[in-house]
Amino acid sequence: MLAIRKKSLTELSQEVGITMANLSILKKGKARAIRFSTLNAICKVLDCQPGDILQYERDDEAKS
C-alpha cells in the first residue's frame, strides 16, 4: 500500500505518529500485536481497509 500510495515509511511514520522502528517491525511482519487505534490510523493515512495491509499467517508451532 505504501508503494501504491507513493508514500515512504518516513512519511507514514510522521503522519500516523508512530516511530520508524515500530513501523519497520510491522512492515517486516515481526509484530505480535497491533492496537486498533494504530491500525485505524494507518488505514486512514493510506486510505485502505485493514485487509489491504494485513495477512494471516498460520503459526504451526501453536498448540491446539
Q: How many domains does the chain have?
A: 1
Q: How does pLDDT run across 22-52, given as a tens digit for each residue?
A: 999 998 989 989 999 999 999 999 999 999 9
Q: How many CB atoms lie within 10 A of CB 35?
A: 9
Q: How does pLDDT run across 47-57, given as a tens digit for each residue?
A: 999 999 988 87
> What phi and psi values does residue 55 have, to the nearest 5 degrees?
-140, 130
pLDDT of residue 55: 85
- Domain that includes residue 39, residue range: 9-52
**Is the dihedral angle over the CA atoms 31, 16, 45, 23 positive or is it negative?**
negative
Q: Is the pLDDT of residue 64 over 60?
A: no
In a domain, 2, yes or no: no
Q: What is the DSSP letter of 60?
A: T
Residue 12: exposure state from Cβ atoms within 10 A (0-12, 13-18, ≥19) = buried
In a domain, 59, yes or no: no
In a domain, 13, yes or no: yes
In a domain, 17, yes or no: yes
Q: State the pTM of this model.
A: 0.81
Averaged pLDDT for residues 13-29: 93
